[in-house]
C-alpha cells in the first residue's frame, strides 16, 4: 500500500519545517545555479587562459632551443668554414715540426677561447680527427667521442643537431644537466686523411635555465621529438621512454596523467611539455573552497532567516491558539492583544469581533432556553390529564342525554372538540382551515353561554386556508374581542384572514367595543399582566399569542394592537409563509 506524501514525509506536516525547507531551497537552488554557471565559466576561462599562457611558454622554449642550436652552429662555422683555422688544424695534423704545431695549437686555442667567450651558450668545444680522436678541446673531455651515440634531432646542410644528452665532460656525472650539441664534418676532398670533426655542446646552464619548472607553476616534463615523432629526450621515462614513438594526435590538450603542449620547429622536430595540471587543479580547488564557504554561509544564513521568519509567524499563531483555547474554556472576555503586525492584527481583530458575536449569540440562546423553560413550567402548572378531562366530559354528556338535556349535550360536544384541538399532539403548526373550524366551535360554545348576545363576521380568503400557523393563535384574539364587545348589546366581532403577495397571511380581529387606553394596551403584551386584566383573565392569551409568534417567526414579528377608547380595538398579526430555520418541526410549545 502506498503511503500518502504526508505519511512518507512527516516533517512537511508542520509550518515550521515547510518554511525552513522553502527558505533553504530558495537559498540552495539559486546558489547551485550560480555555482554551476560560474564554475563552467571559470573553468573555461581558466583553462583557456592557462593553456594559452603555457603554450606561449612552450613556444618560447622551442625558440630558446632553436637559438641555442643556431648559436652553436655559428660557433662551429667559425672553426669549420674559416680557411685560416682549417689550415691551422690540417697543418697541426700533418706537420712534424714541433714549433709549427705549437703555433697552430696556439692559434686554434685562441680562436676556441674567443668563441667560448663571445658565445653565451657555448660550453665544450672539441676538434676530432677522422677517427674521432681528440685533437683540441677547450675543457677536459673524453679522449674519444662517439658522435653516433648522441640522439640526432635533425641534420641539415652537413650539420648534425643533437637532442639533449650527457656532456662529454671528462669529470661529468649522470646527475649533471643535459646539453644539446652540434657536430659537423670538415672534409678535404683532395686528402681524406685531412678531414676532421667539430663538436660543440651547450653549457650546463643553458638547458637548465631554459627548462625551468617555475614558469609553469608545477613540475613539467619535457620531450623532444624528431620529425618522425620518435622520442629523443624525455624527462618522464616511465610515460615516454627515449626511442619510443609519441602518438601524434593533436597540437595539445589532455595527455595521460595530465595535460600536454606541443611546439614544432621549422625543421620538423617538436618540443612537448607534459603537465599534471596541478596549477589548474589548485586554482579550481581554491575556487571550490571559496564557493563552498560562501555556500555554507548562505545555508546558515538561510536557516537563521527561516528561524526568524518562523518566530515572526509562530508567536502570533500561539496567540491565536491561546485565544481560541481561552474562548473554548472560559466565557470571560480577556483584554485584546496586538501583535504590531498589520496582517495579524487585522486577523486578530476579526477574531475578537467574531468572539464577541459568538458570546452574544450564546447569551441569546441561553435567554431563549430560559424563556422556553418558563413556558414549559407554565404548561406543567396548568396541564390537566387529558384522559381524565375527556372521561369526565363523556360522563357529563351521557348523563345529559339520559335526562334529555340537549343544550348541555351540545355544549359538552363543542367543549370536547375545542379541548381535543387545543390539547392535540399533531404538532405546533396547523392549517388555517383547522384553526377556523376550532374558532367556530369556540364561538358556538360562547353563544350558548351568552345566549347569542353578540355577532361574529368571518371573512376568510380561500387561498389562505392551506397556509400554516401556530396552533391556538386565533382563539385568544377573538376571546379578547369578545370580552370587550360583549359589554355592548350590539357588539360585532370581525375576523379577516387574507393571503399576501409574499405567500404569508394577515390576520385582523376587530370589534366595536369600548376600546382601551395606551397603558392597558402596553400591559396586555407583558409576560405577567397585572391589575384588572389579571383579575378578569384578560391578557394572558394575548401575551401567549404574542410570544408564540415572536418565537417562531422572529423578534420583529408579533401582535400589534390598535385601540381607542370608545371606538373599539383591532388586533393584527402578519405570519410569513415559513417559520424561522430549525423551527419547522418544533413541538415544544404545542399544547398537549
- pLDDT exceeds cutoff 50 at 368: yes
pLDDT at 184 over 50: yes
Q: 528 with 540: CB under 8 angstroms?
A: no
Sheet holding 505-511, edge to edge: 455-460, 492-499, 505-511, 568-575, 559-564
Banded pLDDT at 505 (limits 50, 70, 90): very high
Q: Say how far apart CA 100 and CA 116 lie, in whole Å.
A: 24
**Which grid coordinates belong to 223?**
620531450
Q: What are the CA-CA distances from residue 558 to residues 307, 315, 543, 554 (Å)?
A: 61, 50, 10, 8
Instruction: Indicate the range of 206-215, 248-257, 395-404, 420-429 predicted with least confidence.
Output: 248-257
Contact 255, 203 (CB under 8 A): no
Rounded distance, CA 480 to CA 183, Å?
Answer: 152
* Window from 384-393, 456-465, 489-498 with minimum mean pLDDT: 384-393
CATH of domain 424-575: 3.30.565.10
* Predicted pLDDT of residue 332: 66
Range picked from 33-37, 210-214, 448-452 for highest mean pLDDT: 33-37
pLDDT at residue 256 is higher than 50: no
Confidence of residue 455 (pLDDT cuts 50, 70, 90): confident
For 565, list phi and psi in degrees, rounded to 5. -65, 125
CB 209 within 8 A of CB 262: no
Residue 168 · residue 183 · CB < 8 Å: no
- Per-residue pLDDT band for 213 (boundaries 50, 70, 90) equals low
Domains 37-219 and 424-575 share a fold: no
Average pLDDT, the chain: 79
**According to the model, what pLDDT value does residue 379 have?**
61
The β-bridge partners of 159 are 156, 184
Domain ranges of the chain: 37-219, 331-377, 424-575
Distance, CA of 144 to CA of 140 (rounded, Å): 12
DSSP string, 459-512: EE-GGGTT-EEETTSHHHHHHHHHHHHTTSTT-EEEEEEEE-TTS-EEEEEEE-
Give the pLDDT band of residue 531 (cuts 50, 70, 90): very low
pLDDT at residue number 484? 62
**Confidence band (pLDDT; 50, 70, 90) for 460?**
very high
Q: Is the pLDDT confidence value at 270 over 80?
A: yes
The pLDDT > 70 percentage for the chain reads 81
> 231 to each of 179, 249, 272, how far by Cα in Å?
16, 15, 10
Predicted model pTM: 0.49
In whole angstroms, how far apart are CA 534 and each of 482, 527, 568? 16, 11, 21
pLDDT of residue 32: 76
Give mean pLDDT, residues 380-385: 53
Taking a C-beta distance cutoff of 8 angstroms, is the pair 417, 405 a contact? no
The CATH number of the structural domain formed by 37-219 is 3.30.450.20
Nearest-CA neighbor of 538 among 476, 488, 590? 476
Residue 250 scores a pLDDT above 70: no
DSSP string, 155-213: EETTEEEEEEE---BTT--TTSPPEEEEEEEE--SS-GGG-EEEEEEE-HHHHHHHT-S
Closest CA to 86 of 76, 98, 96: 76
Residues with Cβ within 8 Å of 488's Cβ and at least 6 positions away in sequence, in order, are 512, 513, 514
Q: What is the C-alpha end-to-end distance of the chain, expressed in Å? A: 59
pLDDT for res 46: 65
For residue 161, give the nearest of 182, 179, 185 by alpha carbon. 182
More confident residue, 524 or 6: 524
| Statement: residue 536 has pLDDT above 50 | no
Amino acid at each position: 500500500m502506498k503511503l500518502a506524501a504526508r505519511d512518507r514525509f512527516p516533517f512537511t506536516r508542520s509550518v515550521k519545517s515547510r518554511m525552513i525547507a522553502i527558505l533553504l531551497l530558495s537559498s540552495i537552488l539559486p546558489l547551485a545555479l550560480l555555482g554551476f554557471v560560474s564554475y563552467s565559466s571559470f573553468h573555461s576561462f581558466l583553462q583557456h587562459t592557462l593553456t594559452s599562457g603555457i603554450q606561449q611558454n612552450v613556444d618560447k622554449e622551442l625558440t630558446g632551443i632553436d637559438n641555442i642550436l643556431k648559436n652553436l652552429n655559428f660557433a662551429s662555422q667559425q672553426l669549420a668554414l674559416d680557411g685560416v683555422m682549417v689550415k691551422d688544424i690540417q697543418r697541426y695534423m700533418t706537420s712534424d715540426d714541433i714549433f709549427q704545431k705549437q703555433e697552430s695549437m696556439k692559434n686554434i686555442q685562441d680562436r676556441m677561447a674567443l668563441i667560448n667567450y663571445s658565445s653565451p651558450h657555448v660550453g665544450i668545444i672539441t676538434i676530432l680527427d677522422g677517427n674521432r680522436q681528440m685533437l683540441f678541446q677547450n675543457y677536459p673531455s673524453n679522449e674519444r667521442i662517439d658522435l653516433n651515440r648522441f640522439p640526432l634531432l635533425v641534420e641539415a646542410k652537413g650539420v648534425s643537431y643533437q637532442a639533449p644528452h650527457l656532456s662529454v665532460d671528462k669529470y661529468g656525472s649522470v646527475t649533471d644537466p643535459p646539453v644539446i650539441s652540434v657536430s659537423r664534418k670538415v672534409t678535404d676532398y683532395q686528402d681524406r686523411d685531412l678531414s676532421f670533426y667539430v663538436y660543440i655542446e651547450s653549457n650546463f646552464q643553458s638547458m637548465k635555465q631554459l627548462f625551468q619548472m617555475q614558469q609553469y607553476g608545477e613540475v613539467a616534463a619535457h620531450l623532444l621529438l624528431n620529425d618522425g615523432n620518435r622520442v629523443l629526450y624525455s624527462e618522464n621515462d616511465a610515460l615516454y621512454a627515449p626511442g619510443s614513438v609519441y602518438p601524434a594526435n593533436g597540437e595539445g590538450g589532455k595527455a595521460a596523467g595530465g595535460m600536454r603542449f606541443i611546439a614544432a620547429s621549422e625543421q620538423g622536430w617538436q618540443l612537448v611539455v607534459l603537465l599534471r595540471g596541478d596549477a589548474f587543479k589548485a586554482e579550481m580547488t581554491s575556487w571550490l573552497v571559496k564557493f563552498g564557504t560562501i555556500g555554507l554561509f548562505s545555508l546558515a544564513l538561510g536557516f537563521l532567516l527561516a528561524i526568524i521568519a518562523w518566530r515572526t509567524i509562530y508567536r502570533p499563531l500561539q496567540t491565536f491558539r491561546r485565544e481560541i483555547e481561552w474562548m473554548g474554556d472560559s466565557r470571560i472576555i480577556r483584554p485584546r492583544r496586538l501583535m504590531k503586525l498589520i496582517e495579524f492584527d487585522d486577523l486578530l481583530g476579526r477574531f475578537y469581533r467574531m468572539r464577541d458575536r459568538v458570546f452574544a449569540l450564546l447569551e441569546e440562546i441561553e435567554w431563549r432556553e430560559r424563556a422556553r423553560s418558563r413556558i414549559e413550567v407554565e404548561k406543567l402548572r396548568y396541564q390537566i390529564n387529558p384522559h381524565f378531562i375527556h372521561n369526565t366530559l363523556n360522563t357529563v354528556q351521557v348523563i345529559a342525554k339520559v335526562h334529555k338535556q340537549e343544550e348541555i349535550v351540545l355544549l359538552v360536544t363543542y367543549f370536547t372538540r375545542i379541548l381535543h384541538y387545543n390539547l392535540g399532539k399533531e404538532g405546533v403548526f396547523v392549517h388555517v382551515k383547522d384553526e377556523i373550524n376550532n374558532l367556530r366551535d369556540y364561538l358556538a360554545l360562547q353563544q350558548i353561554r351568552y345566549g347569542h348576545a353578540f355577532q361574529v363576521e368571518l371573512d376568510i380568503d380561500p387561498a389562505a386556508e392551506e397556509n400554516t400557523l401556530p396552533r391556538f393563535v386565533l382563539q385568544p384574539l377573538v376571546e379578547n374581542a369578545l370580552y370587550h364587545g360583549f359589554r355592548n348589546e350590539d357588539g360585532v366581532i370581525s375576523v379577516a384572514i387574507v393571503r399576501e403577495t409574499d405567500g404569508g397571511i394577515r390576520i385582523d380581529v376587530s370589534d366595536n367595543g369600548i376600546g382601551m387606553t395606551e397603558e392597558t394596551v402596553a400591559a396586555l403584551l407583558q409576560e405577567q399582566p397585572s391589575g384588572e386584566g389579571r383579575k378578569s383573565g384578560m391578557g394572558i392569551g394575548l401575551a401567549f399569542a404574542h410570544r408564540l409568534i415572536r418565537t417562531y417567526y422572529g423578534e420583529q414579528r408579533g401582535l400589534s394592537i390598535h385601540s381607542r377608547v370608545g371606538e373599539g380595538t383591532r388586533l393584527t398579526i402578519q405570519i410569513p409563509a415559513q417559520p424561522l430555520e430549525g423551527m419547522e418541526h418544533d413541538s415544544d410549545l404545542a399544547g398537549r
